[in-house]
Amino acid sequence: MSLLVVGLSHRSAPVSVLERAALSADAQVKLVQDTVAAEPATEAAVLATCNRIELYADVDKFHAGVAELSTLLAQHSGVGLDELTPYLYVHYEDRAVHHLFSVACGLDSMVVGEGQILGQIKDSLARAQELHSAGRLLNDLFQQALRVGKRAHFETGIDRAGQSLVTFGLQQLADGADVATWARGRKALVIGAGSMSSLAAATLARAGVAEVVIANRTPDRAERLAEIISEGDDTDVPARAVPMDAVPVELTRADIAVSCTGATGLVLTAEDIAAAVEGRGGRSAARPAEKAPAARTSAEDTGTRRVLPPAADENCPLDLTATTVQGGFSVHGEAAVAGLDAAALEQHAAWAAGGAVDRREAARRGPETDADLITALAATAATVGRVPERRKPEPAAETPRPEPVLALLDLAMPRDVDAAVHRLAGVRLVDIESLAEASADAPMAADVDQVRRIVADEVAAFGAALRAAHITPTVVALRAMAADVVANEIARLEGRLPALDDKHRGEITQTVRRVVDKLLHAPTVRVKQLAAEPGGAGYADALRTLFDLDQDTVAAVSRAEDGTEKNRDPR
């Protein structure tokens, strides 16, 4: 059997795809159950966070395993396989181990070095153990990943390279200011009472906000979190719990709002936020009204400026609205009117002057009128050096956005807050998508290289232990066979020497056993060493062949060891 991981994360997929592929708690359970029920897999675990969805499995066939795991991910995420496939990544055996260890150390996180992922890996393992889908391989893998992550944080300064997603999000809201200085004295609303929301509430309390309000669909959890915040030893910030239907009112009082729920739909719409901001004192959060096209002035204005019709007026006989503009005039002016008859020119001139011309009457004008108009046009062109044209519309002055009165941090996946809120005046929204963009430019700490070396060493050690463990059942079966041979030979000796006393019988038995042990010691130790090296998987097969070991016996030893492993305390 071999380790396989199929998944997608913020590194491989856009946030819009991650958002749609997010798995609820029930969907994660069903995915694990369906994976172990599938033919290629015997063990399975799901690691699902706000920026990754990964399915780990012990499979006996690589290609069949990739196909089955990819299909199951698509089915349970609700994103079609054809759409999902371009964003999936696959890691196998040592590469899969390396990937999980890197994830555990925070190297693959959106915010490098963040430590929240360790709790998420622990939860993933606990869920798999509850579902009895984690056997020896995944138990060893996830427990070792937790140890590697803890070692990286303990032995290096990776914590200085990054922080939690909550802290990073608050830093983005503060827009370069110190978070504690920015948050001090403000009122905070936290929607949700899970691990991320709890961390947000605690972080805001330590930053010195004036109050923390917790809203959650389960009142008991909200009250418990509020109690923890209020009774914290390192803060004196009051906290209270409110029902979810109180959120609209609380938004009108809050300066900072953090949302991280497990809801599958929007928790806060743009209309909700606009109403909350307007309810703070009459300041509207609606988008600035669309500006009407700016009025224009004629090119030949002198003295009093003359207002002309908008550029997009449908009565204009010439399609000049699509022309490019340089220096205030359309570069296609002469070309646009070249070849037009006098009636059309008169129409355009009358329209540009703000008047109106009956097109049917203009069409009845004769050639003489055409000649007069063309002569006048030529004279004007000779005087000013070009055909008089409409001036480019003055650019509309952009209304400056007011300072935000409400700062929103959306850490949910799928999103809790409508993305349209980004366009509201008086609001600053930071969500997973904007965090992904900001983190792309975040500086990397020097300690990252040291963590990478730790990961490489731990992957090598885990691979060696895994390969050595693969041959252990064969070695155990070999020693069991040798013990049976010794027992049979002692029984034969007793048949031939019935008068042998117990003392001599014991000495002979011990001597034969020592001989067998010494003969087997060197080859079994050496075969374990060889099997631990890359490419050493074939030594188990060689040992079974050389000693004609029964495959069923070896399999029975493996099952017995797996049963012992499953009963081991995961902590």
What DSSP character marks residue 7? E
Residue 481 assigned as binding residue = no
**Contact 190/213 with Cβ under 8 angstroms?**
yes
- Beta-sheet pairing, 52-59 with 41-49: antiparallel
Residue 216 assigned as binding residue = no
**Residue among 50, 105, 260, 316 flagged as catalytic:** 50
**Residue corresponding to tokens 């008089």:** 388
Helices 195-207 and 116-130: crossing angle in degrees, nearest 10, is 150
Count of CB atoms situated within 10 Å of the CB of 378: 11
Secondary structure, 3-state, 356-378: CCCHHHHHCCCHHHHHHHHHHHH
Contacts of 444 (CB under 8 A, 6+ apart): 112, 161
3 state SS of 446: coil
Query: Is 50 labeled as catalytic in the residue annotation?
Result: yes
Contacts of 155 (CB under 8 A, 6+ apart): 450, 454
Contacts of 44 (CB under 8 A, 6+ apart): 31, 32, 35, 36, 55, 56, 57, 58, 128, 133, 134, 138
Helices 447-496 and 502-532: crossing angle in degrees, nearest 10, is 150
Residue 218 assigned as binding residue = no
**Contact 300/391 with Cβ under 8 angstroms?**
no
The enclosing H or E element of 78 equals none
Residue 227 assigned as binding residue = no
Residue 474 assigned as binding residue = no
Residue 109 assigned as binding residue = yes
Residue 115 assigned as binding residue = yes
Cα separation, 413 vs 347, whole angstroms: 59
**Residue corresponding to tokens 């059942």:** 473
Residue 361 assigned as binding residue = no
DSSP per-residue letters across 381-436? HHHHSS---BBPPPPPPPPPPPPPSEEEEE--SS-SB-GGGGG-TTEEEE-HHHHH
Question: In the chain, what is the greatest distance between 2 CA atoms, to the nearest angstrom?
Answer: 149
Residue 467 assigned as binding residue = no
Residue 265 assigned as binding residue = no
Residue 437 assigned as binding residue = no
* Of the candidates 332, 338, 342, 291, the residue with the CA atom closest to the CA atom of residue 312: 291
Contacts of 399 (CB under 8 A, 6+ apart): 288
Contacts of 36 (CB under 8 A, 6+ apart): 42, 43, 44, 57, 131, 133
Residue 232 assigned as binding residue = no
Burial class of residue 26 (count of CB atoms within 10 Å of its CB; 0-12, 13-18, 19+): exposed
Handedness of CA 513, 516, 518, 524 (dihedral sign): negative
Residue 271 assigned as binding residue = no
Residue 496 assigned as binding residue = no
Phi, psi dihedral angles at 350 (to 5 degrees): -65, -40
Residue 195 assigned as binding residue = yes
Encoding tokens for residue 350? Answer: 């009358």
Cα separation, 293 vs 393, whole angstroms: 8
Do you know the residue count of the chain?
Answer: 571
Encoding tokens for residue 207? Answer: 């930053």
Hey, which residues are catalytic here? 50
- Residues annotated within the binding site are 49-52, 109, 114-116, 120, 192-197
- Residues annotated within the binding site for substrate are 49-52, 109, 114-116, 120
- Residues annotated within the binding site for NADP(+) are 192-197
